[in-house]
Amino acid sequence: MVRSSTTGHALLGLLALRPSWTATELADQISRNMRFFWPRAASRVFAESKAAVDRGWALSRSESRAGQGAPRRTRYRISAAGRQELKLWLASPPRGTVLECEALLRVLLADLGTVDDLRRAIESVGDDADELFSVASMVGSEYLEGTAPFQDDVHVRALVFDYLAGFATFTHDWSERSRAYVDSWSGMDPEARAEAGVGLVRRSMAKFPRQREHH
């Protein structure tokens, strides 16, 4: 069975963008640029870098550095086979999007806890949004000023930016809306709350696009 190793291909993509990278540079780049849609620990990047060499997708060279006893640093560059593999992968169908939201799980089970537990879960989704906003503000400004790393790729990176900005906005709005919704419970009896719930479902569904036809 062949596991797809998306992370390995993410690495391969970076290797193709510049002639040579150290493992730490790769780890930093993944952490800075991909963490919101492909979050991986640095140790994973180190392991995948070695694996890429084993697979023949990259070449490595161990360089000694200034200090005598300093740990040797490994520098990677992509191979012809790596470029070939990358093109094949880019042409293959992407895996589906995966969302993991523990806060939403807590909301689902909210009746088993307190209302304050629920409020905290809703709040934490708002915090997620805030973090995204604050990073996006900085990155976005760089693009506007033309000083971003990989500024040459704005035409495609803008799409990623737009996605993440949209995600942050939607998430932020949900959190605010939900906070107000829970606040509105005070003084409601269970039937009124149930009615409010049905009303919320109805409003959500009203925004669905018309079903597209299959042709």
Partner DNA sequence: ACGCACATGTAAGCAGTTACATGATTTG
Partner DNA sequence: CAAATCATGTAACTGCTTACATGTGCGT
3-state secondary structure (DSSP) of residue 78: strand
Mask: binding to a second copy, 77-116, rule CB under 8 A, as x and -?
A: ---------xx--xx-xxxxxxxxxxxxxxxxxxxxxx--
Pick between residue 2 and residue 98 the one whose CB is nearest to a second copy.
98
Please identify, using beta-carbon distances, which residue of 33 and 74 lies nearer to DNA: 74
The piece of 18-26, 54-62, 67-75, 151-159 that touches a second copy (CB under 8 A) is 151-159
Residues 3-22 that bind DNA (CB under 7 A): 3, 5-7, 22
Stretch that binds a second copy, among 19-27, 47-55, 65-73, 156-164 (CB under 8 A): 156-164
Is 23 or 125 the residue whose CB approaches a second copy more closely? 125
Inter-residue contact 104 to 27 (CB < 8 Å): no
- Could you tell me if 25 and 62 are in contact, meaning their C-beta atoms sit under 8 angstroms apart? no
Residue 177 contact, options DNA, a second copy, none, Cβ 5-8 Å cut-off depending on partner type: a second copy
- Say if CB 10 and CB 37 are below 8 A apart: no
With CB under 7 A as the contact rule, the residue among 13, 34, 40, 130 that binds DNA is 40
Please return the burial class of 125, using the count of CB atoms within 10 Å of its CB with bins 0-12, 13-18 and 19+.
buried
CA distances to 4, 89, 152 from 95, rounded to whole Å, are 9, 11, 27
Q: Which is nearer to a second copy, 56 or 113 (CB)?
A: 113
Given a contact cutoff of 8 angstroms between Cβ atoms, the answer to whether 170 and 106 are in contact is: no
Contact residue for a second copy among 3, 65, 155, 215 (CB under 8 A) = 155
| Residue among 32, 38, 35 at smallest CA distance from 5 | 38
CA 172 to chain centre: 16
Q: Which residues in this chain contact DNA in the complex, by CB under 7 A?
A: 1, 3, 5-7, 22-25, 39-44, 46-48, 50, 62, 65-74
